[in-house]
A and B are shown apart, each in its own frame.
Chain A
Amino acid sequence: GEDVEQSLFLSVREGDSSVINCTYTDSSSTYLYWYKQEPGAGLQLLTYIFSNMDMKQDQRLTVLLNKKDKHLSLRIADTQTGDSAIYFCAEMDTGGFKTIFGAGTRLFVKA
């Protein structure tokens, strides 16, 4: 079945770049997403990439997709303390728009 895996923790210094990695299993995924969740809040869509793209840049965020290896990464440039949160990788299947989430990567940003 479909599965999305992420590392659980990442710690960076303020001003450095953060790279959060994700692997997925469903090769027929149409969209791949990065969501952010702050404590006590719902999920906020950060960015998404269509499966026929290799890269997408949106201000401080860069998403890289390696379809052959089923690997997705999110790079946050100039990481700020406000970026501390849990980041979820997710894939949407081709059929019913079901979104499968990873367990989340908790990003700690040290001042």
Chain B
Amino acid sequence: EAGVAQSPRYKIIEKRQSVAFWCNPISGHATLYWYQQILGQGPKLLIQFQNNGVVDDSQLPKDRFSAERLKGVDSTLKIQPAKLEDSAVYLCASSTPGTGEPEAFFGQGTRLTVV
């Protein structure tokens, strides 16, 4: 079974630039999550999709961050404009709630450095 795929693995941008990350979840997983993991901290949920609808985006800084999941499969997370404090690893995860399997599967993440 293929895992959660994310790209790019690394990205370095200057502050005020824009950046986009892509995630392809495990086939058939209805729920998709984007987490932000700042160095030395645990992952923080930014947004959760159920199919192509948003379930929770309470911690997404909506003035600069946006995410979409067209057709309920792949997802993109965008930051525009980026700030220095956005430097972090952005993790995508997917799961299948309701099947009795409580596990969320994580991708390897995209490491963003804003300079």
Contact = CB atoms under 8 A, between A and B. Distances in A.
Nearest to A31: B102
A70 interface: no
B28 interface: no
B42 A104 contact: yes
A50 B40 CA distance: 28
Given A96-B55, A103-B40, A42 B107 contact: yes
A1 to B, nearest CB: 10
Interface in B32-55: 33, 35, 40-45, 48, 50, 55
Nearest to A32: B102
A50 B102 CA distance: 9
A100 to B, nearest CB: 7
Interface of B: 4, 31, 33, 35, 40-45, 48, 50, 55-56, 91, 93, 95, 97, 102-109
22 contacts: A30-B102, A42-B91, A42-B108, A43-B93, A43-B106, A45-B104, A48-B103, A88-B42, A97-B48, A97-B95, A97-B102, A97-B104, A98-B48, A98-B55, A99-B33, A99-B45, A99-B104, A101-B43, A101-B44, A102-B42, A103-B42, A104-B42
Contacts of B95: 97
B102 A98 contact: no
In which size bucket is the chain A interface? 20 to 34
Given A42-B91, A42-B108, A96-B55, A48 B102 contact: yes
Interface in A1-44: 4, 30-31, 41-44
Given A31-B102, A96-B56, A42 B109 contact: yes
A65 interface: no
Nearest to A30: B102
A60 B107 CA distance: 25
